[in-house]
């Protein structure tokens, strides 16, 4: 039954498959250490590509969570999501059974689906003929299958969906899951983002659009958000998943650890250009303003921002302008970091792992750094926590995600008050 009274929503479980490690602990420690997960591409022969570096997931074995037969019938992006979701459920000590399955939902976003499957099967089509294409081609490649496979493997029978809003998809998924619990459509939601798009076509396409860094000889220094020498983003892959629960439901089942409360969700559209944000950052600023309004908070209450911070020349300047527009003079007092400096840009998965980082910042009062920020761009003049992590009390945090097509999303989290 839908509730007329808005429910409070909390984060009780986290899961992560990332270029820095395949658990939340490994990922978080990597961030605090300022370690880069970026290196030479090994997933395919990139020797002829202008960009030959990426943030690949390493030593990933889906059989830790999946039967070998199931893993073979699942695209990489979907297996990332299923495995990270299993981590989040285990972390929350949450059980899905016949009694609660209809009240547990799944929303997992991604930007592309499986280009890898498309490229492989297209090659088979051209060289061996249509009858040699896999019967699993379509269900493996379609973007919604991360959510679908996660529901199948967890038994979650509640609201199920997939957000496909480019690089805002993971954050959109979390925001929509928040809304569903808040309004009483579900008691718990498995949500976040996933992506596995380090493929020949994807890297070539982004590179010819001049979006990628070509600092191939120095991969660990290639992703450098807000730095004067930045030359584009570095592609990453992986998944970040949150288990959200209605607060009363979590307390009633005896939860002893709650990471944070999610209190605000703002989303807007630039309606301006396919790939470039509005020059003044108005759309991104409104997303932040709406998230704070949704949370009933003022700009001076924000104590941390996990920036979108891609490392592209235009976007970093516009995000800086947007933060100033949304938060006014308070912007200069807020620590901000781009964890993409260490993971690369996971496209539709970025909002997922960055929400995990934001929640961990709230839970530990440890702020991850923006590495490679050695010569700050004069137009990016906020406190971007350069080089080293920082210990500082964080009570209210924003996480920004902006995507091609003008999609802007901001999530607002806070420490849970007794």
Of 345, 380, 407, 412, catalytic: 345
**Three-state secondary-structure class, residue 153:** helix
CA–CA gap between residue 222 and residue 310 (Å, rounded): 11
Q: Which position has the token pair 């379609």? A: 142
Identify the H or E element spanning 195. strand 188-195
Of 51, 83, 162, 167, catalytic: 167
Q: Catalytic: 407?
A: no
- Token pair of 27, please? 């990922």
- Distances in Å between the Cα of 136 and the Cα atoms of 98, 121, 162, 202 are 29, 10, 20, 21
Q: Catalytic: 167?
A: yes
- Distances in Å between the Cα of 322 and the Cα atoms of 108, 347, 396 are 27, 20, 18
DSSP 82-98: HHHHHHHHHHTT----T
Q: Closest by alpha carbon to 406, among 166, 144, 110?
A: 166
- Token pair of 386, please? 């350069």
- Distances in Å between the Cα of 380 and the Cα atoms of 62, 314, 348 are 40, 11, 25
CA–CA gap between residue 86 and residue 14 (Å, rounded): 9
The half-sphere exposure of 397 on its side-chain side, counting CA atoms within 13 A, is: 35
CA–CA gap between residue 102 and residue 120 (Å, rounded): 37
Of 83, 308, 380, 407, catalytic: 308
- Backbone torsion region of residue 296, taken as left when φ is above 0, otherwise alpha when ψ lies between -120 and 50, otherwise beta: left
- Distances in Å between the Cα of 360 and the Cα atoms of 9, 22, 255, 336, 366 are 16, 16, 18, 14, 8
- Token pair of 109, please? 């976003």
- Token pair of 144, please? 């919604």
CA–CA gap between residue 236 and residue 351 (Å, rounded): 12
Q: Catalytic: 308?
A: yes
Active site residues: 167, 308, 345
């Amino acid at each position: 039954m839908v509730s007329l009274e808005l429910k409070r929503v909390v984060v009780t479980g986290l899961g992560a498959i990332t270029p820095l490690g395949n658990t939340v602990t490994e990922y978080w420690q990597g961030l605090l250490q300022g370690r880069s997960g970026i290196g030479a591409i090994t997933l395919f022969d990139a020797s002829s590509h202008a960009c030959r570096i990426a943030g690949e997931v390493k030593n990933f074995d889906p059989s830790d969570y999946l039967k070998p037969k199931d893993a073979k019938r699942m695209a990489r992006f979907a297996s990332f999501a299923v495995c990270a979701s299993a981590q989040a459920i285990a972390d929350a000590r949450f059980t899905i059974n016949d009694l609660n399955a209809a009240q547990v939902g799944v929303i997992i976003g991604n930007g592309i689906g499986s280009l890898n499957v498309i490229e492989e099967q297209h090659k088979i089509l051209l060289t061996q003929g249509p009858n040699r294409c896999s019967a699993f081609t379509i269900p493996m490649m379609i973007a919604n299958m991360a959510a679908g496979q996660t529901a199948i493997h967890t038994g979650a029978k509640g609201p199920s969906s997939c957000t496909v809003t480019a690089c805002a998809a993971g954050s959109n998924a979390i925001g929509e899951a928040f809304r569903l619990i808040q309004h009483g459509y579900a008691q718990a939601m498995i949500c976040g983002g996933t992506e596995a798009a380090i493929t020949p076509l994807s890297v070539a396409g982004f590179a010819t659009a001049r979006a990628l860094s070509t600092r191939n000889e120095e991969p660990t220094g290639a992703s450098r958000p807000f730095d004067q020498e930045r030359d584009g983003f570095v592609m990453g892959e992986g998944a970040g998943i949150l288990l959200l629960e209605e607060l009363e439901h979590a307390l009633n089942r005896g939860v002893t650890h709650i990471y944070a409360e999610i209190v605000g969700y703002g989303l807007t559209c630039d309606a301006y250009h396919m790939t470039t944000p509005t020059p003044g950052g108005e759309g991104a600023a409104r997303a932040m303003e709406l998230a704070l309004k949704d949370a009933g908070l003022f700009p001076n209450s924000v104590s941390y921002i996990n920036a979108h911070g891609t490392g592209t020349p235009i976007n970093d300047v516009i995000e800086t302008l947007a933060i100033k527009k949304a938060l006014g003079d308070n912007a200069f007092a807020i620590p901000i970091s781009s964890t993409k400096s260490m993971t690369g840009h996971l496209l539709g998965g970025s909002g997922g792992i960055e929400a995990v980082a934001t929640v961990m910042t709230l839970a530990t009062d440890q702020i991850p750094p923006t590495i490679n920020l050695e010569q700050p761009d004069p137009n990016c003049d906020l406190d971007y926590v350069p080089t080293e992590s920082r210990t500082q009390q964080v009570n209210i945090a924003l996480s920004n995600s902006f995507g091609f097509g003008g999609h802007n999303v901001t999530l607002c989290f806070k420490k849970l008050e007794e």
